[in-house]
Chains A and B, each alone.
Chain A
């Protein structure tokens, strides 16, 4: 419960709508084609699809780093298309700055907002303590293990305290065992924060396990194939993977995405 005090300071969760977003890059590379996504406030939503389906472009559009050619992004009903500062943002690479100590890395979002160090450090220490990293507060990232570095990245995202978290395959680089543990850990953290999460992955299993709602995307140009609601009780443990509902959803999504991947492979071979 200690985390909620930090979480409540800026903005609480908000609903997110991606409306009719399309994007074509120079050279007629059609990345996204009429994408519609929706997440209620506080929902965990996953986007799955084969590699090269424009997931990351979608992600950068929601983060406000890229402007879509058409369509818009709404946060709590407010148009935020092309503007930054609304999202906590986390990638497969931890993006820790080698020249900042652990604590200076996790407060960087607050540095951008101009929060005084005395305050940001106090909040950071609370989370470092909670996530077992307090011993490394003054260490440089070079001395941390992969899992520890990724936990730092999560703390950095939490501290920035945006209403929406964007996570782009954050655990893909970790080994299978660590990854499963990190997924459970993430759900635990998320349950105390009550944030809206967009989680991008190519792993169907991971998407179902984490989310309330899963959007499946096609190969390039990325468009929406289907949306499924995951009706599994929370809190979830790893046994939920054997639940018939889980298995049924997984079979359905895997078949869809597999068909897409085959289509893409066939296109490559001809």
Chain B
């Protein structure tokens, strides 16, 4: 029990130094106009916050478009990636054919396909969803494969010696072994999907957070770009924080190990 308390104590002690540093940097940014930094180029945080509040409806509208792209693209990429990973590990032919193909094609910078997809699929959400799905697909597939293969062979043999079925081995050993890998893939995939959605909005027309960032010359001030970038960062942080919480729920044994260690 004392181990747990000590743990939170040390976490608090770890928290303060970087928090103070960050706070200092924000204060410096806020008072930067008094050093001659132009607010038309670097608006202070208070100004960015003000536009977020004043024009919140605009931000909410664009944010929700980007979120829908991320959600749909991620869902598609995740499901296809998971199935492909399973096929590579358990399908004899699929493993032989798909694995080298995917290992090779992951080197292709998929996000740079966005301009072509916009031409092919028009200016709607579709090309952006495809880009997000493609970006998510690779880390999910590769981590699913690595995770399923990380299952300990001796432990599998132990269960086999007990007469366990293929299904038992899958459920009791392979799935839990793959879990940390798949979650790491999800983390990576989410980061890619935020980037993919925003960046795909930069090419082609339409709306969304990425598009909002490029609105600097219109009736909005330059702070709209900063606000949209900040919102993007918040989206990424919230999504990754969510994965962190899910991870703790799905893998309670990890925390148990850490507290005592």
Are the CB atoms of A112 and B176 closer together than 8 Å?
Answer: no
State which residues 91-110 of A face B: CB under 8 Å: 91, 93, 95, 97-100, 108-109
Are the CB atoms of B159 and A142 closer together than 8 Å?
Answer: no
Q: What does the 1/0 interface line of A104-126 toward B look like (CB < 8 Å)?
A: 00001101110000000000000
Q: Does B35 contact A (CB under 8 A)?
A: no
**Could you tell me the distance between the alpha carbons of A99 and B180 in the complex, rounded to whole angstroms?**
11
- B152 CB contact (under 8 Å) in A87, A95, A113, A142: A95
Chain B residues whose CB sits within 8 angstroms of the CB of A112 once the complex forms: 159, 162-164, 168
Are the CB atoms of A160 and B257 closer together than 8 Å?
Answer: no
State which residues 50-100 of A face B: CB under 8 Å: 60, 63-65, 84-85, 87, 89, 91, 93, 95, 97-100
Chain A residues whose CB sits within 8 angstroms of the CB of B172 once the complex forms: 97, 100, 108, 111
Q: What does the 1/0 interface line of B146-160 toward A look like (CB < 8 Å)?
A: 000000101101111
State which residues 80-117 of B face A: CB under 8 Å: none
* A84-B163, A112-B168 given; A99·B176 CB < 8 A: yes
Q: Does B120 contact A (CB under 8 A)?
A: no
Are the CB atoms of B260 and A143 closer together than 8 Å?
Answer: yes
Are the CB atoms of A142 and B163 closer together than 8 Å?
Answer: no
- B261 CB contact (under 8 Å) in A89, A91, A142: A142
- Residues of chain B at interface, number, CB under 8 A: 22
Q: Does B251 contact A (CB under 8 A)?
A: yes
A66: shortest Cβ distance to chain B, in Å? Answer: 10
B31: shortest Cβ distance to chain A, in Å? Answer: 49
- B256 CB contact (under 8 Å) in A63, A111, A113, A142: A142
Q: What does the 1/0 interface line of B246-258 toward A look like (CB < 8 Å)?
A: 0000011100110
B160: shortest Cβ distance to chain A, in Å? Answer: 6
**Could you tell me the distance between the alpha carbons of A109 and B155 in the complex, rounded to whole angstroms?**
12
- B162 CB contact (under 8 Å) in A84, A97, A98, A99: A84
Chain B residues whose CB sits within 8 angstroms of the CB of A109 once the complex forms: 162
Are the CB atoms of A140 and B256 closer together than 8 Å?
Answer: yes
State which residues 199-241 of A face B: CB under 8 Å: none
**Could you tell me the distance between the alpha carbons of A109 and B158 in the complex, rounded to whole angstroms?**
9
**Could you tell me the distance between the alpha carbons of A238 and B152 in the complex, rounded to whole angstroms?**
36
**Could you tell me the distance between the alpha carbons of A106 and B48 in the complex, rounded to whole angstroms?**
58
B156: shortest Cβ distance to chain A, in Å? Answer: 10
7 further A-B contacts with Cβ under 8 Å, apart from A60-B157, A65-B157, A85-B161, are A84-B163, A85-B163, A89-B157, A97-B176, A113-B163, A142-B253, A142-B257
Q: Which residues of B contact A (CB under 8 A)?
A: 152, 154-155, 157-164, 168, 172-173, 176, 251-253, 256-257, 260-261
Task: Name 22 A/B residue pairs within 8 A (Cβ), A-sorted.
Answer: A64-B161, A65-B157, A84-B160, A84-B162, A85-B161, A89-B162, A97-B155, A98-B257, A99-B253, A108-B172, A109-B162, A111-B168, A111-B172, A112-B163, A113-B163, A139-B256, A140-B256, A140-B257, A142-B253, A142-B256, A143-B260, A160-B162
Q: Which residues of A contact B (CB under 8 A)?
A: 60, 63-65, 84-85, 87, 89, 91, 93, 95, 97-100, 108-109, 111-113, 139-140, 142-143, 160, 166
10 residue pairs, one from A and one from B, having the closest CB atoms: A142-B257, A85-B163, A140-B256, A140-B253, A89-B161, A99-B176, A63-B161, A112-B162, A143-B260, A112-B164
